[in-house]
Amino acid sequence: MLEEYQFLFIALSYLVAFGALFTLTAACIVRYRKTHKIFTHLRQDICQNLHPKNPI
Amino acid sequence: MIEKYANPNRFQTLSKHLIPLFGILSLIAFTVGLYIAFFASPPDYQQKETVRIMYIHVPAAWMSMSIFFWMGISSFLVIWRRHHLANIAAKSMAPIGAVLAFICLVTGALWGKPTWGTYWIWDARLTSMLLLFFLYIGYILIQYTTEDHFKASKISAIFASVGLINLPIIKFSVEWWNTLHQGPSIIRAGGPSIHETMLWPLFTMAFAYLCLTVFLTLINMRTELLQQKIEGMLRRKVSEATHA
């Protein structure tokens, strides 16, 4: 009976594997881009506020 | 040599070129691998079409074990040399290894049902693989929930080094114990017992997994380095504000 469903098991396996790989890749790239954005923003902020004495 | 390439600035320059290279390589290898797996490799005489699950299950198992091995090596460097980049490398690899161990477990269960008649059995190979998945989860929890970075790197390095014991258990479990899981069929005395028409898609998919792992590890390492720079900048800002 299971032989009839073998394509279902194959499809499910590939769906889980590539779903997980795609999610992981997307999460890593999005995390990097977000972090890079914050870093660039902070660096610009620090560079713009150059002052011999702290103005705060 | 370690000191030469373990410099964060040198790493940033090198990884900038390596990330797109490994990204493209993994895309090509996955495309070719999937094509061979579905259209060029024959069904097995016993398992029929379900053998195609092997092409995603086995490379995931290989890579999740390899990643933990490299995490263990990096952890030794953290303990022995207090190497900063080694800790970042191990921390960056952990989520990738966890996802690959998860893929291995789920696809294994989906392969087990039509082949063995059950999704799960507490045999030595399956249980030790599940333990590897929990080791990854434990490592990630230590790294991301401990507030003190130095403490987190030290505890997680000891954790990963101890966890290395599980790798030979996974590898030899099918030889040491009587398991439902099949014995070694590639790295064994007398050569592989898999026909070359099935070996090629397997190795191509393994290469694709490897390239993706390197690609994601490098991205995660760059993210971690950036995060540490951000934390440094924020600390400096706060200290400047308090001293003003």
Instruction: For an interface test with B, give the residue of A5, A14, A40, A42 to mutate (most B CBs within 10 A).
Output: A14
Q: Can you read off the two tokens belonging to residue B95?
A: 């989520």
Q: What is the pLDDT of residue A53?
A: 60
Would an 8 Å CB–CB cutoff place A12 in contact with chain B? Answer: yes
Q: How many CB pairs under 8 A join A and B?
A: 87
- The per-residue pLDDT for B48 is 83
Q: Specify the pLDDT at position B185.
A: 77
* pLDDT of the residue at B54: 95
pLDDT at B233: 87
Q: What pLDDT sits at residue A54?
A: 56
pLDDT in tens, B62-114: 999 999 999 999 999 999 888 889 999 999 999 999 999 999 999 999 999 99
Q: State whether residue A5 sits within 8 Å of chain B by CB.
A: yes
Chain B CB contacts of A31 under 8 Å are 220, 223
Query: CB A21 to CB B212 under 8 A?
Result: yes
Distance from CA of B223 to the nearest CA of A (A): 5
Which of B50, B103, B230 is opposite residue A20, by nearest beta carbon?
A: B103
Mean pLDDT computed over B182-206? 84
pLDDT over 80 (residue B197): yes
Model pLDDT, residue B1: 56
pLDDT digits (tens, 9 = 90+) for A11-27: 999 999 999 999 999 99
Whether A13 sits inside 8 A of B243 (CB atoms) is no
Q: What is the least distance, in Å, from the CA of B50 to any CA of chain A?
A: 6
* ipTM (interface predicted TM): 0.90
Nearest Cβ partner of B53 from A9, A18, A39?
A9
- Is B102 in CB contact (< 8 Å) with chain A? yes
Looking at the partner chain, which of B50, B227, B234 has a beta carbon nearest the beta carbon of A10? B50
Please state which of the ranges A31-40, B148-157, B229-238 shows the lowest mean pLDDT.
B229-238
List CB contacts (< 8 A) between B48 and chain A.
3, 6
Q: Which chain B residues contact residue A24 at CB under 8 A?
A: 95-96, 99, 216
Average pLDDT, chain A: 85
pLDDT of residue B64: 97
Q: B174: pLDDT confidence band, cut at 50, 70 and 90?
A: confident
- pLDDT number for residue B19: 96
Three-state SS string over chain B comes to CHHHHCCHHHHHHHHHHHHHHHHHHHHHHHHHHHHHHHHHCCCECCCEHHHHHHHHHHHHHHHHHHHHHHHHHHHHHHHHHCCHHHHHHHHHHHHHHHHHHHHHHHHHHHHHHHHHCCCCCCCHHHHHHHHHHHHHHHHHHHHHHCCCHHHHHHHHHHHHHHHCCHHHHHHHHHHHCCCCCCCCCCCCCCCCCCCHHHHHHHHHHHHHHHHHHHHHHHHHHHHHHHHHHHHHHHHHHHHHHHHC
Nearest to A39 among B219, B229, B243 (CB): B229
**A36-56 pLDDT per residue, tens:** 999 998 888 777 666 656 554
Angle between helices B124-145 and B54-81 (to 10 degrees): 50
CB proximity B11 to A under 8 Å: no
* pLDDT in the model for residue B7: 78
CA distance B219 to chain A (A): 7
Q: Which residues pair with B9 in a beta bridge?
A: none
Q: What is the pTM of this model?
A: 0.91
